[in-house]
Structure 1
Amino acid sequence: MNKPYKVALVEDHILLRKGLVSMVEGFHDYSVLFEASNGKEMIELLDPGNLPDLVLMDVNMPEMDGFSSTGWLKRNYPDIRILALSMYDTENSIIRMFKAGVRGYIMKYCDPVDLRTAMDALIQKGYYYSELVTGRLIHTINRYDDLDNNDTGNPLSVLNDRELEFLRYACTEMTYKEIACKMYLSPRTIDGYRDSLFDKLRLKTRVGLVTFAIRNGIVNV
């Protein structure tokens, strides 16, 4: 019999964490290696000689949140798969967690079957997109296939240098107002760049812009 995949749980709510421990232990082929209440505690508990295969990562935690914890893991142990668990489905949270290094994002109130499906997908394929993220990311990616197959060939060919510069900033945590200051432009001009990209790339959200940038090598994750 194969050894079970080792899972680390990083979640600050004790009752929820204990519930997740019980749930994961009940899944065939999985066992909980350790549990932590935040990223700082996770780092202290990590044993380089006995690393988890998968980390279930809360987004909002004290001391060291999910964004920082995920980034630290990807820098130090890039082979560990990370699944974000969140109560929030905001574009900003999704963008930041995917840019930090997660390869799956699921809501805490999901059905246990969905959690198991997400864990299996990360182990077997290296990524998982829930219906939430599918709606905001994968649908957008499918639109790029049309752009890739149109007469322009390269989807980047429709963008000018300033639009590309704006797109790179849009993939950061900066607000549009902060991007305007960075580019020495007015907020109205920045809104114009955003709307132009939405129109040229047939997108509707900032998540879509980030996905496009990742897909086309404009930014790295």
Structure 2
Amino acid sequence: MTGDKKILVGVADDHTLLRNALARLISSFENYQVVFEAGNGKEVKEKIAKNVLPDIVLLDVNMPDIDGYETAKWIYKNYPQIKILALSMFTDESIIIRMLRLGAKGYILKNADPDELKLALDSVWQKDFYLSEYISGKVISGLHKDIDLPDEPIVLNDKEKEFLQWACSEMTYKDIAQKMYVSPRTVDDYRNALFDKLKVKSRIGLVLYAIRRGLVEV
């Protein structure tokens, strides 16, 4: 990363020691400057409302008062230019999907090492996307880290498109089957067909494809 431009970062986490440590670490990275720390979404809103506008917010998912979900939704709606890097100790698909749907550009685990945090911030800033190395290896085999997509759009039939829309929600596959008035086995067939077509091996991979292709709204 070159140039004199400082990338401004807000750090939001309800654990004071961790938040302070993250802020100090990020401030030590070349070209990065922490402009605020916050213990919950309410404090994030207050900081931003005072025109302390970061380029990136490192946002803990689980916080008191106003959590990471509501904060991400508010940031995306009111300040879409601010990039959100979600921070969590959980690898649950439902949490990752929800944060991506709410506008997060990346997701990193709290046990990541400093080099990965730097990589995550760089990737969110430069490439508009990052997923934790652990999550990428665990659930997104078949997609590059940069989430490169095929040049040619992939043709999906109507049922596959409908399934993809529901897959980007928080519903279980059983719930999706009921919504589509088909059997769970049929839903499995739709899922497997899309895994094959899109070269992904997880539901998160489907969601990423849909978001990057503009097939669902965040």
* Counterpart in the other structure of 2:142: 139
SS at match of 1:101: coil
Match of 2:96 in 1: 94
The code of the aligned residue for 1:169 comes to: W
Select between 1-10 and 34-43 the one with higher mean Cα deviation: 1-10
CA positional deviation for 1:133: 4.6
- Corresponding pairs, count: 213
Aligned residue among 15, 20, 23 for 1:21: 23
Query: What is residue 108 of structure 2 aligned with on the other side?
Result: 106
Per-residue CA distance 1:119-169 (angstroms, 9 max, x = gap): 233333433344235434473367963xx6xxxx6522xx32122111111
Report the 3-state secondary structure (helix = DSSP H, G, I; strand = E; otherwise coil) of the residue aligned with 1:46: helix
Contact residue 60 and residue 66 of structure 1 kept, 8 A: yes
Check 1:44–1:192 CA distance in 2 against 1; reply closer, same or farther (3 A cut): same
Match of 1:210 in 2: 207
Structure 1: state its 5+ residue gaps.
none
Instruction: Spell out structure 1 runs of 4+ moving beyond 6 A.
Output: none
C-alpha change, 1:76 and 1:154, in structure 2 (3 Å) is closer
Alignment of 1:172-187 (within 5 A): 172-187=169-184
CA contact (8 A) 1:5 1:53 kept: yes
Partners of 2:99 and 2:31 in 1: how far apart?
26
Q: 1:64 to 1:171 in 2, by over 3 A?
A: same
1:53 to 33, 46, 55: 55
Unaligned 5+ residue runs, structure 2? none
Cα-to-partner distance string for 1:153-204 (whole Å, 9 max, x where unaligned)? 6522xx3212211111101111122222322333343233323333444432
Task: Find the partner of 1:169 among 166, 170, 195.
Answer: 166
Q: Is the contact made by 1:54 and 1:82 (CA closer than 8 Å) also made in structure 2?
A: yes
Deviation at 1:95, TM superposition (A): 1.9
RMSD: 2.7
**1:86, distance to aligned residue in structure 2 (A):** 1.5
**Match of residue 118 from structure 2:** 116
Partner SS for 1:120: helix
Q: Which residue in 2 is equivalent to 1:12?
A: 14
Identity rate, percent: 50
Q: Aligned pair in 2 of structure 1 residues 154, 43: CA closer, same or farther (>3 Å)?
A: closer
Q: Distance in 1 between matches of 2:92 and 2:66?
A: 20
Map of 2:192 onto structure 1: 195
Please state if 1:70 is matched with 2:72: yes
- Does the Cα contact within 8 Å between 2:140 and 2:201 map onto a contact in 1? no
Task: State the alpha-carbon separation in 2 of the partners of residues 102 and 92 from structure 1.
Answer: 14
Aligned partners of 1:36 and 1:69: how far apart in 2?
12
- Three-state SS of the structure 2 residue aligned to 1:140 is coil
Instruction: Show CA shifts across 1:64-88 (max 9, x none).
Output: 2222211211110011121111112
Residues 101-131 of structure 1, C-alpha deviation per residue, up to 9 Å, x if partnerless? 1212222111112212222333334333442
Structure (1/2) with the larger helix percentage:
1
Q: The residue matched to 2:108 in structure 1 has which SS?
A: strand
Amino acid at match of 1:75: K
